[in-house]
């Protein structure tokens, strides 16, 4: 059976299957594609081939990176989710995916690791699987490295009101593209919905009450979409 290596699950009140949107993306894809899998908890991503999670172990074949994982799953088990997509929709899906994974991602990191109210929740919840004595040291080191990523991405150089503005522009763009459809491209999910759900839920379902979350909750098609995917695949 496919093994999905990911961070240990967050507490129930986080309302998401993983702290990491990339891990959620792969798990959502596996569910949408109806591929059986089991989860393996990994505490230290530095031991992974690319130093990051998620990774899958598919019968001994180790595949890191959510994008390459989905490519592998498509070629090994067929591509029923995306088979009917037009070239135009594939290109559009690709652009949306990149916007969320390579841009909105750093804004989510900012609100969880740098913004103090978010950090106080991350600090108390993300490190629970670590043995007590090493916890304070590790969490400070990890925070430092996450904040460095936010700064180096350029997001952390903006004042807070601009971070909200920049993040909301992404979410509003998704809302306009989604309109009132069930999934991004119609009645049935595609692999792009795995990314969309993972990043939107990571923003609005978790208890980090960021200004971006509060503003996004005003977009009714986004909140309905997140609820719909969650009810269908993670009930």
The alpha-helical segments, DSSP class H, found in the chain are 21-32, 66-77, 87-99, 105-109, 116-125, 135-153, 160-178, 191-204, 211-216, 220-233
| Closest distance to ligand GSH from the beta carbon of 186 (Å) | 25
Q: How far is the CB of 53 from ligand GSH (least distance, A)?
A: 4
| Cα–Cα dist 223/204, whole Å | 8
| Identity of the residue, 170 or 175, whose beta carbon is nearer to ligand GSH in the bound complex | 170
- CB nearer to ligand GSH: pick between 16 and 219: 16
Residue identified by tokens 């980090």 is 208
Of the pair 26, 178, the CB lying nearest ligand GSH is at 26
Write down the least CB distance from residue 45 to ligand GSH, Å.
4
CA gap 38, 56 in Å, rounded: 10
Q: Tell me how far, at minimum, the Cβ of 51 lies from ligand GSH, in Å.
A: 6
User: What DSSP element (H or E) covers 5?
Assistant: strand 2-6
* Rounded least distance, CB 172 to ligand GSH, Å: 23
Work out the burial of residue 29: count CB atoms within 10 Å of its CB; fewer than 13 is exposed, 13-18 middle, 19 or more buried.
buried
Closer of 53 and 208 to ligand GSH (Cβ): 53
Distance CA 55, CA 44 (A): 12
Pick 140 or 220: Cβ nearer ligand GSH: 140
CB-CB contact of 209 with 112 (8 Å): no
CB of 208 to ligand GSH, least distance (A): 14
* Element holding 61 (H helix, E strand): strand 61-64
Shortest separation between residue 106's beta carbon and ligand GSH, angstroms:
10
Nearest CB to ligand GSH, comparing residues 198 and 219: 198
Contact residues toward ligand GSH (CB under 6 A) are: 20, 22, 45, 51-54, 65-67
Q: Which is nearer to ligand GSH, 9 or 228 (CB)?
A: 9
Across-strand partners of 5?
40, 55
What's the per-residue H, E or C state across 27-48? HHHHHHCCCCEEEEECCCHHHC
């Amino acid at each position: 059976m496919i093994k999905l290596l990911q961070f240990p699950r967050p507490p129930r009140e986080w309302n998401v299957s993983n702290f990491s949107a990339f891990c959620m993306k792969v798990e959502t894809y596996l569910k949408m594609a109806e591929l059986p899998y089991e989860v393996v908890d990994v505490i230290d991503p530095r031991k992974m081939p690319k130093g990051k999670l998620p990774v899958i172990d598919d019968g001994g074949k180790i595949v890191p990176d959510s994008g390459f994982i989905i490519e592998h799953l498509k070629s090994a088990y067929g591509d029923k989710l995306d088979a009917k997509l037009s070239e135009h929709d594939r290109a559009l899906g690709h652009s949306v995916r990149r916007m969320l994974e390579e841009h909105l991602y750093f804004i989510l990191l900012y609100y969880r690791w740098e913004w103090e109210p978010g950090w106080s929740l991350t600090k108390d919840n993300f490190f629970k699987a670590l043995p007590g004595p090493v916890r304070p040291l590790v969490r400070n080191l990890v925070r430092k490295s996450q904040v460095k990523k936010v700064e180096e991405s350029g997001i952390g150089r903006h004042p807070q009101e601009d971070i909200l503005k920049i993040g909301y522009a992404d979410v509003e763009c998704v809302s306009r593209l989604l309109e009132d459809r069930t999934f991004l491209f119609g009645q049935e999910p595609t692999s792009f919905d795995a990314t969309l759900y993972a990043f939107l839920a990571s923003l609005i379902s978790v208890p980090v009450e960021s200004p971006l979350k509060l503003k996004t909750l005003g977009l009714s098609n986004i909140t309905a979409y997140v609820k719909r995917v969650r009810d269908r695949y993670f009930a």
